């Protein structure tokens, strides 16, 4: 029988909670991906805008994943692309985030700044940084109140690490929503820009989105018409999946990435797709369960 991964030309892989938690690799994840890749394109797609693609690729390589800079697509890149589409070259952009995010802004012909005096910047871009503090948020609030365009790299409320769930960029975005009475344009998952960038990098739409969050990875896959695998190694749980709205229901669910290298347990078209979840607890570790019919409407 055909392995799950063999149905696709590319795998679009989330990072935090799917491949690693902070500096700690998820057990068995590298081995699952390098098991007879067979020419598939592996594209690493991260909502975390804090690090440059080169730094992400080096981290992945250190953990045992086959990765180069060209294999990494970040929400910082997607956010910078959105800004470049909407602003004139050289426009100033107030950066709330890391220096790597600022460099992505500069790379598309815009001018990154951290503070302003009289003339408000044309835009604010916000991405995760553990150093973001009240003065950074206040500066952004002043700019947003003055009419600046607002692009958020992502709105993940939490960020998985080796200790648990820490506040994510979405928690900081929520503070600015409250302070500005504005809502940002979002570049990262579940919105289309980041995944469309990843598909362009992969060179095919025959791709499986693999991730641990229903509200970003899975909903994002559904928005752009791709099939998806939810792995239960990060944020989302089986209990949450049982209660999930249709737009957050994955094609497949599994306890680990090992499911990529085995045929999935097939969907019973005459039954309730949520009942397939019971298969995970009756002796099928390492196998994906089909939650909804492949190529079906989202149910």
Residues with active-site annotation: 14, 16
In contact, 161 and 57? CB cutoff 8 Å: no
Round to whole Å and give the CA distance between 71 and 219: 22
Give the burial string for 42-81 (b: 16+ CB within 10 Å, else e).
bbbbbbbbbbbbeebbbbbeebebebeeebbbbbbbbbbb
């Amino acid at each position: 029988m055909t392995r799950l991964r063999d149905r696709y030309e590319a795998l679009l892989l989330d990072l935090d909670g799917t491949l690693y938690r902070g500096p700690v690799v998820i057990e068995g994840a590298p081995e699952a991906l390098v098991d007879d890749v067979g020419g598939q394109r592996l594209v690493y797609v991260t909502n975390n805008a804090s690090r440059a693609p080169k730094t992400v690729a080096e981290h992945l390589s250190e953990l045992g994943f086959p990765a180069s800079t060209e294999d990494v697509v970040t929400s910082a890149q997607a956010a910078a692309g959105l800004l470049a589409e909407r602003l004139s070259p050289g426009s100033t952009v107030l950066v709330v985030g890391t220096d790597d995010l600022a460099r992505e802004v500069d790379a598309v012909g815009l001018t990154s700044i951290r503070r302003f005096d009289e003339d408000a910047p044309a835009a604010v871009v916000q991405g995760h940084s553990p150093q973001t503090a009240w003065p950074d948020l206040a500066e952004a609030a002043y700019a947003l109140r003055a009419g600046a365009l607002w692009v958020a790299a992502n709105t993940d409320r939490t960020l998985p690490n080796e200790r648990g769930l820490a506040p994510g960029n979405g928690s900081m975005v929520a503070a600015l929503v409250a302070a500005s009475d504005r809502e940002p344009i979002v570049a990262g998952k579940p919105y289309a820009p980041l995944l469309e960038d990843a598909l362009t990098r992969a060179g095919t739409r025959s791709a499986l989105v693999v991730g641990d969050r229903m509200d970003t990875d899975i909903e994002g896959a559904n928005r752009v018409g791709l099939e998806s695998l939810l792995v239960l190694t990060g944020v989302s749980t089986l209990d949450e999946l049982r209660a999930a709205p249709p737009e957050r229901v994955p094609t497949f669910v599994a306890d680990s990435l090992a499911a990529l290298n085995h045929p999935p347990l097939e969907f019973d078209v005459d039954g309730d797709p949520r009942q397939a979840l019971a298969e995970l607890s009756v002796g099928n570790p390492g196998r994906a369960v089909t939650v909804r019919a492949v190529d079906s409407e989202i149910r």
